[in-house]
Amino acid sequence: GAGVSQSPSNKVTEKGKDVELRCDPISGHTALYWYRQSLGQGLEFLIYFQGNSAPDKSGLPSDRFSAERTGGSVSTLTIQRTQQEDSAVYLCASSLGPAGDYEQYFGPGTRLTVT
Amino acid sequence: SQKIEQNSEALNIQEGKTATLTCNYTNYSPAYLQWYRQDPGRGPVFLLLIRENEKEKRKERLKVTFDTTLKQSLFHITASQPADSATYLCAPGGDSNYQLIWGAGTKLIIKP
């Protein structure tokens, strides 16, 4: 079946512009994660959605970052007024449930470059 | 704060030998730990999940150990092949039952 998809695969934007990154999780997966990966660094947790529960936004680095998940499926991560330090690969993952019991399935990522 | 350490230097192994990767964690006691493989330009792919009450887990040529006293997990690939070359990520559980704390990964290179 189809895996997790993300779009765009690459995004180059000018500093100060807003960007939207999209994630289509695996159908039926109730859990959805957004991570950020910088070169040589571990994955940085950004936000977690689980079903209809309030998302855990504790990893969002600033109020310029926001995310939503519509209809328990597609998710969009929005970065407003982008800065050069936002340049990274943004990864989305979905899962059947909590990490203690289930694996995470990752998309290919969106490489964001802020010039 | 919680800290995950993996060998930052690439590990070069001769084909056919056993590769052993180390993951150390400090300042907390995770209830479980996951290992993932990541190829360049791709998202991580799940390999194994081990819980604190399990000392060892095996899957085909892969073996993971979880030593809660040493605060360490070891990841072994036996009979290594060039196709096993990738970056391997260690991810112990966090404070919540859904969070993982990710190591920076170890790059493994299997030479023919």
A35 three-state secondary structure: strand
In chain B, how many domains are there? 1
Structure tokens at B50: 């081990």
Give the domain range for residue B48. Answer: 3-111
**Identity of the residue in B8, B98, B105 whose CB atom sits nearest the CB atom of A99:** B98
Query: Averaged over B93-98, what is the pLDDT?
Result: 88
Non-local CB neighbours of A112 within 8 Å, separated by 6+ positions:
A11, A13, A19, A21, A79, A82, A86, A87, A88, A89, A90
Q: Does B66 score more than 90 pLDDT?
A: yes
Q: How far apart are CA A92 and CA A42, in angstroms?
A: 14
Number of residue pairs across A and B with CB atoms under 8 Å? 67
Cβ neighbours of B49 in A, within 8 Å: 103
Query: Averaged over B63-74, what is the pLDDT?
Result: 96
Residue of B nearest to A94 (CA): B98
Cβ neighbours of B4 in A, within 8 Å: 42
Confidence of residue B2 (pLDDT cuts 50, 70, 90): confident
Query: Which of these, A29, A24, A41, A45, lies nearest to A104 by C-alpha position?
Result: A29
Secondary structure (DSSP) of chain B: --EEEE--S-EEEETTSPEEEEEEEESS--SEEEEEEE-TTS--EEEEEEETT-SEEEETTEEEEEETTTTEEEEEESS--GGG-EEEEEEEB-SSSS-B-----EEEEEE-
Interface of B with A in 43-102 (CB under 8 A): 43-46, 49, 51, 89, 91, 93-94, 96-102
Residue of B nearest to A30 (CA): B98
Residue of B nearest to A57 (CA): B99
Confidence of residue A5 (pLDDT cuts 50, 70, 90): very high
The full set of domains in chain A, from first to last, is: 5-114 (2.60.40.10)
CATH code at B45?
Answer: 2.60.40.10
Among A103, A110, A111, the residue to mutate for chain B (most B Cβ within 10 A): A103
Q: Which residue has the tokens 């072994």?
A: B76
Phi, psi of A41 (to 5 degrees): -115, 160
Instruction: Please report, rounded to a whole number, the percentage of residues in chain B having pLDDT higher than 90.
Output: 88
| Tens digit of each residue's pLDDT (9 = 90 or more) over A71-97 | 889 999 999 999 999 999 999 999 999
Are B43 and A42 in contact (CB < 8 Å)? no
Cβ neighbours of A105 in B, within 8 Å: 46
Structure confidence at residue A114 (pLDDT): 98
